[in-house]
Amino acid sequence: MIKARKLSPGDTVATVSLSWGGPGAFPHRYEAGKRQLQDEFGLEVVELPHTLRDPEWLYRNPRARAEDLMGAFEDPAVSGIFSTIGGDDSIRLLPYLDPGVFRSSPKVFLGYSDTTVTHLALFKAGLVSFHGPAIMANFAENRGMFPYMVSSVRRTLFSSAPVGTVEPNPDGWTAEELDWAVPENQQRARRLNPHEGWHFLQGSGVARGRLLGGCLEVLEFLRGTELWPEDDSWRGAILFLETSEEAPSPLVLSRALRVYAAMGVLENLSGILLAKPGGDIPVERFGEYEEALLQVVAGEQQLVDLPVITRMDFGHTDPMFVLPYGVEAEIDCEKQRFSIVEGAVVD
């Protein structure tokens, strides 16, 4: 995998709206994320030609969204590209993406949710990219960014050293939604749920593999397209999955995993990481997702030794840590430890 140069204070990062036009709908929220990103990391944040267009215009112009992305990769002044927000239709960019442009100018690319489409396009082109915070949903966190997320971004994007052990946020997590249409909410801290740890459901020993995955619903969009990873890419991989704020049910998870089993994906994995469910789902129901996962993995497929960690902090809850695509990670079942064992960027 090709790794981008690490970010440093003073670098320019471009923000891109690949799906929903969130910055056009809620400009004050976008500006909060931009300001907090610049102030914390010392980056120069710039917009691409269509980043701030309204949602309806962006919906009608998928080619323009793709041209923004291509232009950012081609611009030698840009060191990184950060997604403003997710959505549900960046798959419409596929006809306009040029893998050659990605390969010729590798750069840090960061985002999550519907941005899974672009991550798999970059993975197909052989580039490491980063499943992680977006401008409006995470960098714009009310009353300042969570230190847990800030630390993960620094360790993963600003240093070429191995990322190392990743642990749950000791200060807790939140999925509370405060209406972005009310600017005053920007000064209201979201309510945190208590730290509960991650669940190591099964597995033994130590497993290693390259990280590959994304948002469950978006991966379902991509099955059968040219971006779906080849069989060799799944061999020995650690699959990471997160679900969106639409709160898909445990049945949706189990059905997707059954398809992965039928495709030969599950039997080739080194491990599975599952984030806390997205949406307004009570903690008491988290176990339903674990039961659905184990029903397929252990019950139906008899993969009882496959390491599985759940309730992790990389999905549609906050704060989140960063997962680099194609980079080797390790699950130590005995020590109940998850690590990213190589650097994700270069000097």
- CATH code of residue 18: 3.40.50.10740
| Residue 280, pLDDT score | 82
Mean pLDDT for the chain? 97
- For residue range 245-288, list pLDDT tens digits in order: 999 999 999 999 999 999 999 999 999 999 999 998 999 999 99
Domain-embedded: residue 346: no
Pair 156, 23 in one domain? yes
Domain count, the chain: 2
Domain-embedded: residue 3: no
When pLDDT is averaged across residues 41-58 and rounded to a whole number, the result is 98
- For residue range 54-110, list pLDDT tens digits in order: 999 999 999 999 999 999 999 999 999 999 999 999 999 999 999 999 999 999 999
Pair 132, 237 in one domain? no
Q: Supply the range of the domain harboring residue 47.
A: 12-161
Domain's final residue, options 93, 126, 161: 161
- What span, in angstroms and rounded, lies between the C-alpha atoms of 22 and 82? 14
- For residue range 279-325, list pLDDT tens digits in order: 989 999 999 999 999 999 999 999 999 999 999 999 999 999 999 99
CA 237, 240, 241: angle at the middle one, nearest 5? Answer: 140
- What span, in angstroms and rounded, lies between the C-alpha atoms of 284 and 242? 18
- For residue range 155-194, list pLDDT tens digits in order: 999 999 999 999 999 999 999 999 999 999 999 999 999 9
Pair 125, 173 in one domain? no
Pair 147, 177 in one domain? no
Domain-embedded: residue 5: no
CATH number at residue 237: 3.50.30.60
Pair 143, 74 in one domain? yes
| Residue 176, pLDDT score | 94
- What span, in angstroms and rounded, lies between the C-alpha atoms of 207 and 28? 44
CA 146, 241, 274: angle at the middle one, nearest 5? Answer: 75
Closest CA to 317 of 244, 222, 231: 244
- For residue range 219-234, list pLDDT tens digits in order: 999 999 999 999 999 9
When pLDDT is averaged across residues 188-217 and rounded to a whole number, the result is 95
Domain's final residue, options 136, 161, 186: 161
Pair 85, 188 in one domain? no
- For residue range 136-147, list pLDDT tens digits in order: 999 999 999 999
β-bridge pairing 308-312 and 130-131: unpaired
Pair 213, 154 in one domain? no
**Does 48 score more than 90 pLDDT?**
yes
Pair 154, 191 in one domain? no
**Does 119 score more than 90 pLDDT?**
yes
Closest CA to 17 of 135, 120, 100, 182: 135
pTM: 0.97
> Any idea which residue has 């052990």 for tokens?
165
| Residue 196, pLDDT score | 86
